Amino acid sequence: MRFGVRSLPTGVVRLSVVAGMVLISSPAFAGFVINPTFTANFNTNFGANAAAAQASWIAAANIFTSAFTDNITVNVTVDATAGTTPFGQSNTFLVTSSWAALQAAVVADAKSNNDFTAIGPGGSIPLTDPTGGTGTWKVTRAEAKALGIIPSDGVTDGTTTFGAGNPFTFSGAIAAGTYDFQGVAAHEISEVLGRLGLGGVGNSYSLVDAFSFSGPGTRVLGNGGGSGLQGSFSINKGTNLLKLYNNQAANGLDYRDWAPGTNDAFNQFSGSSVVNPVSAVDLQELDVIGYDLAAPEPSTLILLGSALVVAGLIRRRDRSRFNRRS
């Protein structure tokens, strides 16, 4: 996924984020490790802020290693450019699977109430292919590890890249006119983990696409097209719409980022000067696409910072650049 900066009205920035490798020290669960490799460009381009930027990225990764218990290692390369483009960007490898094999892996991986709802009667994961056998299903390499489709290994799973010239706050209260780097990093790490909608582009779909509905029984695998339907995240086939997805049909941005609303690391849009937390519904989404939530399941928001002062507007855009592996 790429977030890029272009010429926009005053106060508006479009994000570009790429996936990266980070070494996490002492994760809450030794089984789940996000292993970063910070490039020389990252350190050079962030300069005096390099250590703070590394610590912020690691803190974002620790949110996921603390929340999930999968016995896998996810390897991410973390890079940076000198300017403001991209704001943030993520690249990841994809693994192709038949729906039958993917559905079986999801069923075998089920551990939480969310999982059992999703695979049960009236759940969002059916026995038969939601595309009627016409689509190709893919998961990110990290997600394939979590689902047991491929073994955990030391191969690079993705890259995250940031524009070091952008005004970031790396920890604590978000300074006015700056952006929550930890929230941006969490956004991009989650895409490497599998929160990546393909929406039928190239006739390809990702597992998270199967959780998009506009109402009871009304599945929206892509962007709704001419129907004008906008999908929402649902684990029970649209009976309960948990959070609205970005209107990709209208703005051409990411399929599975959240629509504007409460500040959230997974939103398509974000204000400056605000904290963008990883929320309970964010973790719920990762749970049903292959990751194993630690008990008890979260019921409160996990904040990445403090201050909630709205100023300016960021547009996050993920233009997917994927390296596909069969």
Domain ranges of the chain: 2-325
pLDDT in tens, 69-78: 999 999 999 9
Residue 197, token pair as written in the block = 């909608």
When pLDDT is cut at 50, 70 and 90, the band that residue 315 belongs to is very low
Length of the chain: 326
pLDDT band at 226 (very low <50, low <70, confident <90, very high): low
- What pLDDT does residue 270 have? 76
Residue 229's pLDDT band, with cuts at 50, 70 and 90, is: confident
Predicted pLDDT of residue 285: 98
Task: Provide the b/e sequence for 64-92 (b: ≥16 CB within 10 Å).
Answer: bbebbbbebbbbbbbbbbeebbbbbbbbb
Q: What is the pLDDT of residues 170-185, one digit of tens each?
A: 999 999 999 999 999 9
Q: What is the pTM of this model?
A: 0.85
Label residue 234 by pLDDT band (50, 70, 90).
very high
| Cα Rg of the chain (Å, integer) | 18
Give the model's confidence band at 254: pLDDT under 50 very low, under 70 low, under 90 confident, else very high: confident
φ/ψ bin of 18: left (φ > 0), alpha (ψ from -120 to 50), beta (otherwise)? beta
pLDDT of residue 18: 29
Query: How does residue 297 score in pLDDT terms, banded at 50, 70 and 90?
Result: very low
pLDDT of residue 252: 82
